[in-house]
Amino acid sequence: MHRDSISIEQGPSERMLPPNFVEPVPSLQAIDGQELRIPCKVTGKPMPQISWYHNGKNIDQDEEFVVTYNPETGDISLLIVEVFPEDEGEYVCVAHNPAGDAVTRATLVVMDAPQVPSETTEMDVEETQVKRVKEVAPECVPEDMEVEEEEFKPATIERPKLVPMVQEQPSKPADEADDFTPRFEVTIIIIMIKHDINKNNNK
């Protein structure tokens, strides 16, 4: 007696698909202190559950990381609010459903922030130094310091001596001086002669 074997095939709606990362986690470089988002995308049926690991440690509940996952689209992201040097290392995302597992991994390198000299800072430093010099300048000489008197003698200023000014009278020309006396003598002689003539006439 032959028995026919009957195989029951599952319908399309009942088939399961294992997870598959259609967009794997990329290796990244970040600067110390910046915000960083690590993306990836997964498919599967049913949609898988997601877990993240940093250097082999599960970080799903770590407050320093923010994990987002949209089961409808399969978009996944790991957000590091502020990158520190200790965040450097390997990051692994694991997807699991009843049909199987899938893994994607990448490496994060953290670099030091570049130091750019600030012109405003240099100006502030120069202004501060100037203010300090101005504050120190008016300080008095310490009492313990001996000061020689000669160092503080005022410089003597020689003033020009006053020379009396004598106003010289202009001298008369030699001719006028010689003519004056003779004229006076001639006049006297003429008067005397006239006087004698008058006396003789009266006699």
Q: What is the C-alpha to C-alpha distance for residues 50 and 39, in angstroms, rounded to an integer?
A: 13
Continuous H helices in the chain: 119-136, 174-202
Token pair for 168: 């010289």
Token pair for 48: 């898988």
pLDDT in tens, 137-148: 445 545 555 545
Q: What is the pLDDT of residue 19?
A: 97
Q: What is the C-alpha to C-alpha distance for residues 99 and 47, in angstroms, rounded to an integer?
A: 10
- If pLDDT is split at 50, 70 and 90, which confidence band does 4 have? very low
pLDDT higher than 70, residue 115 = yes
93, 103 Cβ separation under 8 angstroms: yes
Taken in order of first residue, the domains within the chain and their CATH numbers are 14-111 (2.60.40.10)
> What is the number of residues in the chain?
203
Those residues with Cβ within 8 angstroms of residue 191's Cβ, 6 or more apart along the chain or in another chain: none
Q: What is the C-alpha to C-alpha distance for residues 59 and 30, in angstroms, rounded to an integer?
A: 19
- The three-class DSSP label of residue 62 is coil
Those residues with Cβ within 8 angstroms of residue 22's Cβ, 6 or more apart along the chain or in another chain: 41, 42, 43, 74
pLDDT in tens, 7-52: 445 555 568 999 999 999 999 999 999 999 999 999 999 999 999 9
Choice between 179 and 66, residue whose per-residue pLDDT is larger: 66
